[in-house]
Amino acid sequence: MAWLLARTCFPKTIPRDRFSSCKTRAWSKGPLTAYMPEAAAFPEPMDHQGLYQVSVEQTDAFWGALGRSRIMWINPFHTVHCCDLQQGHMSWFLGGQLNVAVNCLDRHVHKAPNKVALIWEKDEPGQEDQITYRELLEMTCRLGNTLKRQGVKKGDRVAIYMPSCPMAVASMLACARIGAIHTVVFAGFSSVALAERIQDAQSETVITVNQGLRGGKVVQLKKTVDEAVKLCPMVKRVFVSKRTEENVPMSDLDIPLEEEMMKEDVTCEPVALESEDFLFLLYTSGSTGKPKGLVHSQAGYLLYTAITHKYVFDYHDGDVFGCVADIGWITGHSYVVYGPLCNGGTTVLFESTPVYPNPGRYWETVERLKINQFYGAPTAIRLLLRYGDDWVKKYDRSSLKILGSVGEPIDTEAWKWYFSVVGDGQCPVVDTWWQTETGGICISPRPSNPGAEILPAMAMRPFFGISPSLLDDKGNVLTQNDISGALCISQAWPGMARTIYNDHQRFRETYLMPYPGYFYTGDGAYRSNKGYYQLTGRLDDVINVSGHRLGTAEIEDVVNKHGAVAESAVIGYPHEIKGEGAYAFIVMKKGFNLSQKNLASELQGLVSKQIAKYAAPEYVQVARRLPKTRSGKIMRRVLKKIVENKAEELGDLTTLDDHEVVKEIIEGHKQLLQEETGQ
């Protein structure tokens, strides 16, 4: 394969002294323990409860000690944190300078150059590729030099549109090394969605692959980039890595990545960055149409992902960590790349799907790679559960120690199957709640605390440094237990997003102003009488399809572009496998004579093209009108009950302007379901 060929052309070994170009202080001053003066400030031994208290009551002592001991600094920080949640100013490790790529690569190469950093579990099963820390550093440096030679500078945004593969990880780390800001766009997004993100980030540079492979099928990623670039005049260069042997048409902007990398040196001076310089942007859906470019900065993010990776998954040196999320999502950033690599771990890069070539794929991979911690999404667990236990039991899973779940609420049935069938009742299941905005896991069991209770389908306890609060809709803090409310976090933590790219006002309005003094998550939660947390779902117009966030407004924006659509409302409905699916109610313009079925397939095509396939509404129902309040607001609550098949619980309809239309919609919904299920 071309990529492998290119790799074997690189010199296999690099003399050790060539890495000494990374003149960080910690190198010259000897072992890292020299940087742990405050670690001794914790009375030993301290249990998790004690540590948790310290973490929320003595923020500076706690994070200061960890910051010193877990991160290699070029210049030490002078202030642990300086945060004002009201104003939206969050700074951690001020005065400190560091390089994230050095933390994820060089310091481990120094200790164990041949330790495996990445195990690339390619789409084709049984052909994994192991990349050592030395090799990954080498790739990263060559790539960093290539970017610099082509004009990429510190602070520039670089869009990465690639599947989970080593070159994608090297691209992220190369940006980090030279101080560029990466924005990874999930390779399932359409050209229009990609273009929108490139434009918002104003990125002049794109890194992609010729083609992707997923579930045995070829995906024309470069072609999608070509279409996107047509809409983005600011793009000056497109680096194309060869994931397959196929030659794709290249234009003036296109640069063959491996060819250029081979001309470059295997060392690349890491740039000293301030703790609060931007590390990356990652776009995520909100309740209004336009995706938000959430910004994460260097030191706080890196430290938070490393610490959560260690304590939530009880990660120990030598473990093989298997997070199957795509690098295009925050889970891939934090728990495929930054957390595990900062800890010097071995991390699996999973390129395929849970059912390719068959529903045993995950567990066959666990057996072959001897994965110790497996981290996946409830949607996949639910899907695999349906295929039965045999696909699991066929494979040896005795390497597994911890099972993790992320992305959406995991229901009790799926949790129990995961625990008892996949884990043979031997592995704690950690249901980890967090968001793109939080950078890393915030609420989760901590099995590194032996003996601590874990209840099915509950995220359980706040992580170190996280103080959750439940608030009612009037903004009162609910102090009692056995209660539900809006989940907020009352103190800043190192991993939190700092802003929305180019729109700090929107950041404040979305997260900080709804409950002044608190970070508002947009999720509802229940606190049990033992004080454990259970997440109950989104409180805003965001739906979660297979663990992927989607604004219903984003889908409506696209649907409304169809010539026949006068008005639309997209609602999430419970979907057995995907968690939620999109259900579109459409009012057609007068004079259009299109059947509901044809309209549905046109709209599905449109949404697939403009956003992504998974965003396409599964159901499209044409209605004469939408239910509205007298002031003209669509009553989404009513539509929601209908799609949940709970039409008998419509609640207070006093503000509804036209009762007849609700009856019609209920009838139309019944008919549509009958047609779809053929009953």
Chain residues that interact with ligand 7RM, rule: CB under 6 A: 284, 329-331, 406-409, 431-436, 459, 521-523, 535, 538, 544, 547, 549
Sheet holding 278-284, edge to edge: 254-256, 237-241, 205-209, 157-161, 181-184, 278-284, 292-297, 499-500
Size (the chain), residues: 679
Quote the least distance from Cβ 443 to ligand 7RM, whole Å.
8
Helix, strand, coil distribution of the chain in percent, nearest 5: 35, 25, 40
| 249 DSSP assignment | -
Residues 6+ apart with CB under 8 A from 633: none
Residues 6+ apart with CB under 8 A from 476: none
Of 331 and 347, the one with the shorter C-beta distance to ligand 7RM is: 331
Note whether 453 and 320 are within 8 A (CB). Answer: no
Of 179 and 300, the one with the shorter C-beta distance to ligand 7RM is: 300
Residues 6+ apart with CB under 8 A from 72: 24, 26, 27, 32, 35, 98, 102, 103, 107
Residues 6+ apart with CB under 8 A from 257: 143, 146, 167, 207, 239, 240, 241, 242
Quote the least distance from Cβ 308 to ligand 7RM, whole Å.
11
Say how many C-beta atoms besides its own lie within 10 A of residue 25's C-beta.
14
Give residue for tokens 């036209």: 658
Alpha-carbon distance values, 303 to 68, 298, 440, 512 (Å): 10, 9, 10, 23
Of 491 and 521, the one with the shorter C-beta distance to ligand 7RM is: 521
Quote the least distance from Cβ 436 to ligand 7RM, whole Å.
3
Please report, to the nearest 10 degrees, the dihedral formed by the alpha carbons of residues 424, 428, 429, 431 taken in order. 170
What is the crossing angle of helices 166-178 and 133-149, to 10°? 60
Of 22 and 429, the one with the shorter C-beta distance to ligand 7RM is: 429
Cα distance between residue 66 and residue 662, in whole Å: 57
Of 344 and 409, the one with the shorter C-beta distance to ligand 7RM is: 409
Residues 6+ apart with CB under 8 A from 177: 99, 100, 101, 102, 140, 141, 144, 268, 270, 271
Quote the least distance from Cβ 284 to ligand 7RM, whole Å.
5
Of 206 and 406, the one with the shorter C-beta distance to ligand 7RM is: 406
Quote the least distance from Cβ 409 to ligand 7RM, whole Å.
4
Of 264 and 644, the one with the shorter C-beta distance to ligand 7RM is: 644
Quote the least distance from Cβ 542 to ligand 7RM, whole Å.
7
Cα distance between residue 409 and residue 458, in whole Å: 8
Of 132 and 331, the one with the shorter C-beta distance to ligand 7RM is: 331
What is the crossing angle of helices 191-201 and 221-230, to 10°? 50
Note whether 138 and 144 are within 8 A (CB). Answer: no
Of 141 and 457, the one with the shorter C-beta distance to ligand 7RM is: 457
Quote the least distance from Cβ 307 to ligand 7RM, whole Å.
16
Quote the least distance from Cβ 432 to ligand 7RM, whole Å.
5
CA 28 to chain centre: 36
Of 200 and 408, the one with the shorter C-beta distance to ligand 7RM is: 408
Quote the least distance from Cβ 170 to ligand 7RM, whole Å.
24
Of 163 and 445, the one with the shorter C-beta distance to ligand 7RM is: 445
Residue type, 327: I
Cα distance between residue 257 and residue 161, in whole Å: 14
Of 345 and 409, the one with the shorter C-beta distance to ligand 7RM is: 409
| DSSP E strand boundaries for 564-615 | 565-575, 579-588
Quote the least distance from Cβ 379 to ligand 7RM, whole Å.
11
* Phi/psi-derived region of residue 627, left when phi > 0, alpha when psi is between -120 and 50, beta in every other case: beta
Quote the least distance from Cβ 334 to ligand 7RM, whole Å.
8
Find the angle CA(276)-CA(503)-CA(293) to the nearest 5 degrees: 70
Quote the least distance from Cβ 388 to ligand 7RM, whole Å.
25
Note whether 108 and 346 are within 8 A (CB). Answer: no
Quote the least distance from Cβ 340 to ligand 7RM, whole Å.
16
Of 19 and 519, the one with the shorter C-beta distance to ligand 7RM is: 519
Of 310 and 548, the one with the shorter C-beta distance to ligand 7RM is: 548
Note whether 176 and 100 are within 8 A (CB). Answer: yes
Quote the least distance from Cβ 120 to ligand 7RM, whole Å.
22
Pick the closest to residue 577 from 410, 344, 346, 404 (CA basis): 410
